[in-house]
């Protein structure tokens, strides 16, 4: 995963819990780097190790850490670093999600060879089905966090239903149903 992701995870931990706790997480993770270059690719295991150690040190399920990271990503990291891109992706939650693939496509020349997820969006009135497909495993809670953060961005209140996992031979696929109020 690109260093930007690891760097942002580190920022979230330091913002929420301070530098000392980050050092504890880093040593628990076994990752022997304390700084990440945003535009450099790192093995996915680095990210998974950092999330695992965050969960262990904070005594919080990894799913909850990933969800918090998704919220942080869409409310802090992305608006600060990619504000123009976010502004041009959509003016409300549904429109934005319908263009998330375009957003990831537009940055393929920046994040060369990266492997972003794929989304399909359908809706009936205010009830939305967000179908997430990834080559990786375990990141659905991150998506839920991003959606919650985007709802805050657009001033929408959402009710998320329990996630439906779709069986796939590799990676992960899930459908997140939610209602926009």
| Least distance CB 18 / ligand HEM (angstroms) | 26
Interface with ligand HEM, residue 144, by CB under 6 A: no
Sign of CA dihedral 133, 134, 140, 142: negative
Size of residue set near ligand HEM by CB under 6 A? 25
Burial of 153: CB neighbours in 10 Å, binned 0-12, 13-18, 19+: middle
Give yes or no for residue 103 binding ligand HEM (CB under 6 A).
Answer: yes
**Contacts of the segment 45-48: beta carbons below 8 A, 24+ positions apart:** 46/1, 46/6, 47/1, 47/5, 47/6, 47/9, 48/138
Q: Which is nearer to ligand HEM, 9 or 139 (CB)?
A: 139
Paired tokens of 60: 């919080």
Given 49, 51, 128, 146, the residue binding ligand HEM (CB under 6 A):
146
Site for ligand HEM contains 154 (CB under 6 A): no
Angle between helices 62-72 and 44-58 (to 10 degrees): 110
Query: What is the rounded radius of gyration, in angstroms, for the C-alpha atoms of the chain?
Result: 16
Strand 158-160 vs strand 164-166: parallel, antiparallel, or unpaired? unpaired
Stretch of 6-14, 25-33, 52-60, 128-136 contacting ligand HEM, by CB under 6 A? 128-136
50 binds ligand HEM per the rule CB under 6 A: no
Q: Which of 22, 36, 72, 142 binds ligand HEM (CB under 6 A)?
A: 142
Q: Which residues ranging from 4 to 23 are in contact with ligand HEM (CB under 6 A)?
A: 4-5
68 binds ligand HEM (CB under 6 A): no
Residue 111 carries which DSSP code?
S
**Binding of residue 111 to ligand HEM (CB under 6 A):** yes
Decide whether 24 or 69 has the Cβ nearer to ligand HEM. 69
Q: Give SS3 for 163.
A: coil
Encoded tokens for 98: 């319908």
Which residues in this chain contact ligand HEM in the complex, by CB under 6 A? 1-2, 4-5, 74, 78, 82, 85-86, 100, 103-104, 107, 111, 114-117, 134-136, 139, 142-143, 146
């Amino acid at each position: 995963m690109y260093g930007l992701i690891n760097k942002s995870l580190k920022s979230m931990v330091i913002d929420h819990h301070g530098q000392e706790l980050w050092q504890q997480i880093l040593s628990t993770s076994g990752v022997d780097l304390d700084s990440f270059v945003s535009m450099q690719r790192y093995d996915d295991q680095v990210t998974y190790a950092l999330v695992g150690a965050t969960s262990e040190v904070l005594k919080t399920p990894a799913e909850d850490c990933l969800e918090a990271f998704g919220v942080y990503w869409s409310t802090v990291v992305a608006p600060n670093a990619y504000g123009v891109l976010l502004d041009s992706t959509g003016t409300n939650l549904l429109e934005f999600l319908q263009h998330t693939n375009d957003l990831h496509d537009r940055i393929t020349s920046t994040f060369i060879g990266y492997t972003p997820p794929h989304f399909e969006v359908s809706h009936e009135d205010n009830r939305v089905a967000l179908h997430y497909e990834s080559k990786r495993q375990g990141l659905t809670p991150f998506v839920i966090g991003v959606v919650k953060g985007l709802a805050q961005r657009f001033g929408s209140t959402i009710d998320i239903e329990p996630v439906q996992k779709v069986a796939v031979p590799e990676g992960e696929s899930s459908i997140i149903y939610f209602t926009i109020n």
